[in-house]
Amino acid sequence: MKYISTRGEAPAQSFCDILLGGLAPDGGLYLPGIYPQVGAAELAEWRGLPYHALALKILQKFVDDIPACDLKMLADRTYSANVYRHCRPGRDAGDITPLTTLEPGFHLLELSNGPTLAFKDMAMQLLGHLFEYVLEKRGETINILGATSGDTGSAAEYAMRGKHRVKVFMLSPEGKMSAFQRAQMFSLQEPNIFNIAVRGMFDDAQDIVKAVSNDAEFKARYRIGAVNSINWARVMAQVVYYFKGYFAATSSNDQEVAFCVPSGNFGNICAGHIARMMGLPIARLVLATNENDVLDEFFRTGIYRPRATAETQVTSSPSMDISKASNFERFIFDLVGRDAGKVRDLWRAVDAGGSFDLRGTPYFSALPDYAFASGRSLHADRIATIRDVWNRHQVMIDTHTADGVKVAREHREPGLPMIVLETAQPVKFTETIREALGREPMRPKELEGIEGLPQRVEVVDAAVDQVKAIIARHC
C-alpha cells in the first residue's frame, strides 16, 4: 500500500514512512493511492469478531510494512477491556464500543470509554503503540506537535505519557476548554509532556502546527511529527468503529445504515466516508455542527468559507469550535476526482484566508453521490436534547453527542437504522450538564478530584516563533 498527497507534489510512501510525519512535504494530506475494498464474503466473515480482531482485519488492509504478528500484538494491546473500562453501568467493557439503543432504529455508539473519556482514545491509543514500535525499530526519536480544542490533546498525552523516544508539545486555546478538559491535560507531570496554551482560538493553534510542519528545515532538525487527525493513522483507526457499529445495529449485511457524526475538523466523519468507499453499506453520512457551521454551510450551498478567529464562536460544545476543517481536504480530493492540481488551486485560496465556491460545477453536482447530509445545533438545542434524552431514556449524553442526536432526528428515514457517534462522557462538560439537568454527571472514581491537582502549562501568544522557541528549549 502506497500513500499519496492530496496536493500531488510529494512522492508516494509506505505506511511507516508517513506515520511519523503528519503533513506531506507539499503541504497536503496523505491518503491511500486506492481504497481497499471489502466484499460480501469479508463482511460475513467479520460480523461477530471482537473489536481487536476486527481492527486487525481492517488495519491489514492499509498496513503492509509491519509484520502481521506484530500488527496483531499492537491491536490486541490497544483494544482491551482494561483500556476501555469506563463504560456505562451494565455494559460489557469487552465490547470496546457498546451500542446503546434509545428506541428502535435509533442508537448511540459509545466511543468514550477509554482513558480520557473521549472518542479520540479509539485512535490515539493505537497511535501511541505504533509510534513506539516504529521508533524502536528505527532507533529514532520524535517530537509531536499538536493542537486541540479539548479532547485530542488529552487523548494524545495519555497515549504518549511515559513513552520512550517521544515528547509531546500540545497547543490549546487559553481558557476555551472545560475545567475537566484542562485538568486532564495540565495535571500530567510526565517529563515528556509539554502543554502550551495559546491566546486565541483553536484555529490559531492549528495554524501554528501547520506553519511549523511546513518549515522543512525546522521540522527536520527537531524531528517534528503529528498526532492531529492530519495524521493518516488516526483516520485509519477510526474506520474500524464504523464497521463495528454497523454490525452491532444490523442483523444482515444486506441492510444499510445511516451514521450521524458531530464533527468540527472533519476527521471523525472522514473515516466514515472512507469506510463507505471501502464498501460498508452506509446509505447516509449526516454531519452535525454547532454554531460554527462552516461544514454545514458547504454541504448545503457548495461554499467552503473558513471563518477568521474573530468570527469563531465559543460554545458549550467546544471541541467543535473550529472554523478551518483540516481533514476536509481529504474529502475534497475525492470529490474532485483526485485531481491534485484542482486541490492545490482550491487550497491556495483557503491558505490565503479566502474561500472557494463549487456551485455550478460538476463537483457540486456529484456531491449527492457521496451520501452526505448536514445540520447544525445551537446551545438551546443541545440543552433541550440532553434533557429530553435523560427524561425519556435515562441516558446522560454530553454536549457534542447532543448536537449529533438533534441533527440525527432531523434526518431519520423510515426503515434506515440511525447510529449517532458518541463523542465524550458528560463529566467533561459538567457546567452544561448542570444547566440542562440540575445535577452532577457521574465520573469514574479514579478521576474524582482531578480539577484540584497541580497543573503545569505555559501560556504564549498566537505566534509561531514563541512555540518554536519552546520546542528548541526542550529538545
Least confident of 223-237, 244-258, 329-343: 223-237
Check residue 23 and give its pLDDT.
85
CB 22 within 8 A of CB 16: no
∠ CA(228), CA(233), CA(237), 5° rounding?
105
Residue range 288-304: average pLDDT?
A: 97
Check residue 230 and give its pLDDT.
85
CA distance 360 to 347: 19
CB 156 within 8 A of CB 192: no
pLDDT band at 164 (very low <50, low <70, confident <90, very high): confident
Check residue 391 and give its pLDDT.
98
Check residue 447 and give its pLDDT.
86
pLDDT band at 250 (very low <50, low <70, confident <90, very high): very high
pLDDT band at 308 (very low <50, low <70, confident <90, very high): confident
Cell of 458: 505555559
Least confident of 185-189, 209-213, 358-362: 209-213
CA distance 13 to 23: 12
CA distance 289 to 404: 8
Check residue 446 and give its pLDDT.
83
Q: Please say if the pLDDT value at position 210 is more than 90.
A: no
* Ramachandran assignment for 371, one of left (phi > 0), alpha (psi -120 to 50 degrees), beta (any other): left
Instruction: Quote the strand ranges of 215-280, DSSP E.
Output: 224-225, 257-262
CB 361 within 8 A of CB 378: no
The model's pTM? 0.93
CB 13 within 8 A of CB 2: yes
Check residue 226 and give its pLDDT.
81
Sign of the alpha-carbon torsion through 107, 112, 113, 114: positive
End-to-end CA distance of the chain: 33
Check residue 161 and give its pLDDT.
92
* Upper half-sphere CA count for residue 387 (Cβ side, 13 Å): 12
Q: Which residues of 296-324 are buried (b: 16+ CB within 10 A; e: fewer)?
A: bbbbeebebebbeeeebeebbbbbbbbbb
User: Helices 202-213 and 464-474 sit at what angle, rounded to 10 degrees?
Assistant: 60
Residue 29 CB coordination number (10 Å)? 26
Q: What is the pLDDT of residues 124-156, one digit of tens each?
A: 999 999 999 999 999 999 999 999 877 888 999
Check residue 92 and give its pLDDT.
93
Give the CA distances from residue 200 to residues 174, 368, 417, in Å, rounded to whole numbers and listed in that order: 7, 36, 40
User: Which of these, 299, 339, 305, 322, lies nearest to 228 by C-alpha position?
Assistant: 322
Q: Which domains does the chain have, with CATH numbers?
A: 96-113+233-437 (3.40.50.1100)
Decide the pairing of beta strands 418-421 and 30-32.
unpaired
Q: Please say if the pLDDT value at position 464 is more than 90.
A: yes
CA distance 181 to 425: 11
Q: Strand, helix or coil at 201?
A: coil
Q: 3-state DSSP: the chain helix, strand, coil percent, rounded to 5? A: 45, 15, 40
* List 120, 176, 244, 428, catalytic entry: 120
Q: Strand, helix or coil at 147?
A: strand
DSSP at 320:
G
Residue range 212-236: average pLDDT?
A: 90
Q: Strand, helix or coil at 165?
A: coil
Decide the pairing of beta strands 458-461 and 418-421.
unpaired
Q: What is the pLDDT of residues 33-54, one digit of tens each?
A: 999 999 999 999 999 999 999 9
pLDDT higher at 418 or 176: 418
Check residue 260 and give its pLDDT.
98
Check residue 229 and give its pLDDT.
80
Least confident of 119-128, 209-218, 392-401: 209-218
244 has catalytic annotation: no
Check residue 426 and give its pLDDT.
95
DSSP at 451:
G
Q: Please say if the pLDDT value at position 261 is more than 90.
A: yes
Kindly report the average pLDDT of the chain as a whole number: 95
User: Which of these, 472, 474, 436, lies nearest to 219 by C-alpha position?
Assistant: 472
DSSP at 369:
G
DSSP at 38:
-
Q: Please say if the pLDDT value at position 430 is more than 90.
A: yes
Q: Largest Cα–Cα distance of the chain, in whole Å?
A: 59
CB 196 within 8 A of CB 161: no
pLDDT band at 189 (very low <50, low <70, confident <90, very high): very high
Q: Please say if the pLDDT value at position 467 is more than 80.
A: yes
Q: What is the pLDDT of residues 60-116, one digit of tens each?
A: 999 999 999 999 999 999 999 999 999 988 889 999 999 999 999 999 999 999 999
Residue range 364-369: average pLDDT?
A: 96
CA distance 108 to 102: 7
pLDDT band at 443 (very low <50, low <70, confident <90, very high): confident
CA distance 472 to 221: 10
Q: What is the pLDDT of residues 174-187, one digit of tens each?
A: 999 888 889 999 99
Say which residues have a Cβ less than 8 Å from residue 360's Cβ, sequence separation at least 6.
none
